[in-house]
Amino acid sequence: MADLGKKYCVNCLADVTNLRLRCTDCPDIELCPECFSAGAEIGNHRRWHGYQQVDGGLFSLWGPEAEGGWTSREEQSLLDAIEQYGFGNWEDMAAHVGPSRTPQEVMEHYVTMYIHGNLGKACIPDSIPNRVTDHTCPSGGPLSPSLTTPLPPLDISLAEQQQLGYMPLRDDYEIEYDQDAEKLISGLSVNYDDEDVEIELKRAHVDMYVRKLRERQRRKNIARDYNLVPGFLGRDKKDKEKEKPGGLQVIGGSVPTGGSGACSAGVGPASTTTTGSVPIPSTPKRKIIKEEKEQREESKDGEFAAIENLTGFELLSDREKVLCNSLSLSPTRYLTVKTIIIKDHLQKRQGIPAKSRLPGYLDKVLKKRILTFLTESGWISRDAS
């Protein structure tokens, strides 16, 4: 006797309790997936009639031979979980699927069916495009790893590291050359509505920052090539003293008149015999520091000594240098004011209302001088000034 709770295909009488296709035009016409796919027609039912899928969520998507007996409801919960929690969160995914599945079962089923199975082979290509390609050479090439490897840290003691502010793991110093160089780009941002003048100004800031970094690295290389760090710490002096004969530093006893040899060569001729300790005259010290000091004193006598070492000085024309020097205005502040004035002028010429955004440090006298200069130089028209 047939079970009243079960449903059967009207064409082949197969059990369709878990999954069946019901015709929306013909009453009491329910087919199994096989008969529906074959286009079975019974009585007034035709294969082009509308249909709806009826299932209890208990059939298997992969067939009865699939391991674990996963039902369609569990498969749907698994796909929802992988989208919600992400690949690898197997414990959260197992809790979402239901208490009947462990995290290990969830992982094995997803990897087996959706990655290594036929579905994964059809959806995941063998070669994924747009991957980053490694163009570095094994060695000796322009991008070889040997050329990008950082230099070994300096061989100095912990006390000397603290004295210099040296960080050996980074091969860096706490206070670098031009310590405020990063301020040039720290506040930069690229906006879609930037005008050409603003873009060029930002490029100039980046270019100045790059040159400062190169100069910083050049100074580090010079310090390594010429062993300036050991010289600053006094190591080279100690090494030279160790290499000298013991009698050349301080001579005890008497030095005869007109002596020869090492003593007379180091001390020089004397009119009388000297008894006691005689130090050898030393060569001039800190020669390099003295030369640098002289150079700084010479540069102060220059025409633009007050602003020539400031950021942005090299971007100014000769007339702009004279203007900034006479106004005691830094090059960066002048370039900022110049950019704002020219941008406002261009907007007014195009009929766009422009609101003055001049910085607070610009008073009326400075503004008038700069406007007059820009007008005479042809940057803005006379009616704008």
Looking up residue 338, the CATH number of its domain turns out to be: 1.10.10
**Co-location of 71 and 43 in the same domain:** no
Q: Domain boundary at 238, 269, 289, which?
A: 238
State CA 31 to chain mean position distance. Answer: 62
Whether residue 132 lies inside any domain: the answer is no
- Cα Rg of the chain, angstroms: 43
Count of domains forming the chain: 4
pLDDT value at position 91?
92
pLDDT value at position 300?
47
**Co-location of 27 and 84 in the same domain:** no
Domain coverage including residue 97: 59-125
Tokens 């000796």, located at residue: 140
Whether residue 7 lies inside any domain: the answer is yes
**How does pLDDT run along the chain (385 residues), one tens digit per residue?**
445 568 888 889 888 877 788 898 888 888 888 898 888 888 888 888 988 878 766 666 666 556 667 887 888 889 899 899 988 899 999 999 888 889 998 998 888 888 888 888 887 777 766 666 555 555 544 444 444 456 677 888 888 888 888 888 777 788 888 888 888 888 888 888 888 888 889 889 888 988 888 888 888 888 888 888 887 777 655 555 555 554 444 444 444 444 444 333 444 444 444 444 444 444 454 555 666 656 555 544 467 777 888 888 888 888 888 888 888 888 888 888 888 888 888 888 877 776 666 777 778 888 888 888 888 888 888 765 5
Q: Rounded CA gap, 59 and 6, in Å?
A: 14
Q: What's the Cα-to-Cα distance from 82 to each of 67, 116, 128, 219, rounded to whole Å?
A: 20, 16, 21, 54
Whether residue 221 lies inside any domain: the answer is yes
Q: What is the CATH number of the domain that holds 114?
A: 1.10.10.60
Tokens 């050996």, located at residue: 168
Cβ contacts of 184 within 8 Å, gap of 6 or more? 205, 206, 208, 209, 212, 311
Q: Domain boundary at 37, 56, 75, which?
A: 56
Q: Domain boundary at 19, 37, 56, which?
A: 56
**Co-location of 72 and 114 in the same domain:** yes
Whether residue 34 lies inside any domain: the answer is yes
Whether residue 146 lies inside any domain: the answer is no
**Co-location of 37 and 66 in the same domain:** no
Whether residue 345 lies inside any domain: the answer is yes
Whether residue 285 lies inside any domain: the answer is no
Q: Rounded CA gap, 346 and 7, in Å?
A: 80
Query: pLDDT digits over 228-279, tens only?
Result: 888 777 765 555 555 555 444 444 444 444 444 433 344 444 444 444 444 4
Query: pLDDT digits over 300-357, tens only?
Result: 446 777 788 888 888 888 888 888 888 888 888 888 888 888 888 888 887 777 666 6
Provide the b/e sequence for 145-178 (b: ≥16 CB within 10 Å): eeeeeeeeeeebeeebeeebebeeeeeeeeebee
Six-digit token pair at 299?
A: 């540069």
**Co-location of 51 and 97 in the same domain:** no
**Co-location of 347 and 363 in the same domain:** yes
Q: What is the CATH number of the domain that holds 22?
A: 3.30.60.90
Whether residue 337 lies inside any domain: the answer is yes
**Co-location of 94 and 110 in the same domain:** yes
Contact present, 362 and 335 (Cβ < 8 Å): no
pLDDT value at position 349?
80
